[in-house]
Amino acid sequence: MNQKFFVSNYLNIYPSNRDTHILMHGVTGAIDEVSNNLGLRLSRCRRKQQSMEESEFDATDFDLLRSRGYLTALSYEAEVDAFVEYVNKLHQKNRAAVSSGFVMLALSYACNLRCPYCYQNEMRDRNGPSLRAMSPDFVDTLFTKTIPALYGSTANNLQISLYGGEPFAPENVPAIERALYYAQHRGHEVSAISNGTRVNEFPNLFGEEHGKVNNVQISLDGIPDIHNKSRIPMSGEKTFDAIVENIHWLSAKGVKIALRVNVTVESVGTLKDLENILDQRGVSKLPNVSVYCTAIHEAHTKTATDVFPEIFSQWKLANEMEKKGVSSMASPYDKTCGTMRNLFDNNENILLNKTMFCMENRPYSLLFDPYGDVYGCYEEAGYTNKRIGVVTNEGLVDFVDNRYNTYQSRNVASHEPCRSCSVALTCGGGCPLQAEIANGTIFSNHCDSQKELVAKSIIAFVEKKTAESDLMVLDANRLAKEEMTPLL
């Protein structure tokens, strides 16, 4: 009796620009170009979960399809089970390979701006002027007791991020200086997330060398007219020009700037104008400034949808940017292309291996606030019902409600529909917080256009490859990995 084969559940099939189809395996990362007829047939059988026999294929086609994992002897259910087993092993390897720690210091929840979509507005309004600033003594406790006890060997290789509120305010400087002291003496990198309005008041904190803040994320909300309605100080003055000036100031000090453009339904139509403004003002020409756009998403406090009733997808943002010819500001599509490019340029490793999404699922990644509360996610910081632990008087952490272990147990195979998704290992399951907002649990997916963005990037790379040669077949060396054996 002939053996039955199935089209792999993790096979992605895309039409190309030259009457062929592109096959991309979402586990192995194998990519091949096949005839239009074969592509359509595989697509139909995958959709209907129909079995096939070897005799139904040309021998060459069968050898290719079988060796690359596009055909499997496993049933749909058995292949999903094998994927879960594979991902759990890969996830443990990923966790074991983490060699650096990430420490986020929420120096204070106070801020000089009142942006309508801020995660912390509800908490800030509730506490008013009583918001505490982190003390230098608490910073000493963190770096001499808390972090060494929690992080083990990764405490010797830290990435420190300054956060708030707005970190660069006079009341936060003593704590920042203590953190920079440890960074200088231990060789840690220091970054910050800032609104960029006041950084020029603290010139001694910034620079290229260890012991200085050398990487800053700053946000704009669009062209000046839109930005100045959104990123508003309590005093009401406009901030766009001041932020642009401070970007130049930071750049001159050798600081790298990630300029994030928060995009809404109102502002998406003006992105080309913003691109022109940043070009005219020399921002886009600065060698250490990168500009990227992202669609504002719903916050767990619901403030985002109160102000912006329509939250659109990253896919729509990418398409709108392409339609309007915005090229010097990176779109969500460009970010996906950066991930998928490895499949075309590198055949030596397992390249689709994103089993976790963010700091909430990554070991040795925690946020500490001035009240001694510990969080796994910066969007949840300040909301005590979301904290995962508390720093004790002895400098140790009491974890509460098993929330930390719950966060750490989430991976891309821990829930549906991610465990059966054909591009799951390109995104790691999406944002746990957004998944919880939408579905009531972090053990669910947050799929913001991932399949569409992956498909578009694969097709674009294939078009480039096929323009250079007649046959688009990539080396299969990376398939010979022991961990993948059950899937092939």
Contact by Cβ (8 Å): 437, 298? yes
* Whole-structure pTM value: 0.91
| Mean pLDDT, rounded, for 115-119 | 80
Each residue of 280-313: pLDDT tens digit? 999 999 999 999 999 886 654 454 445 544 567 8
**pLDDT in the model for residue 301:** 47
Ordered DSSP codes for 348-389: SS--------STTTSTTEEEE-TTSEEES-TTSTT-GGG--E
CATH number for the domain whose boundaries are 107-312:
3.20.20.70
CA–CA separation, 311 and 316 (whole Å): 10
Strand partners, 473: 32
DSSP state of 256: E
**pLDDT in the model for residue 341:** 80
CA–CA separation, 152 and 178 (whole Å): 21
The ranges of the chain annotated as CATH 3.20.20.70 are: 107-312
Listed residue (194, 186, 239) closest to 215, CA to CA: 194
Each residue of 209-260: pLDDT tens digit? 989 999 999 999 999 999 999 898 878 889 999 999 999 999 999 999 999 9
CA 342 to chain centre: 17
Which carries the bigger pLDDT value, residue 217 or residue 467? Answer: 217
B/e letters for 394-432, b = 16+ CB within 10 Å, e = fewer, are ebebeeeeebbebbbebbbbbbeebbbbbbbbbbbbbbb
Contact by Cβ (8 Å): 150, 397? yes
Count, residues in the chain: 488
Lowest mean pLDDT among 1-15, 256-270, 346-360: 346-360
Task: Please say if the pLDDT value at position 200 is more than 90.
Answer: yes
**pLDDT in the model for residue 244:** 98
**pLDDT in the model for residue 180:** 98
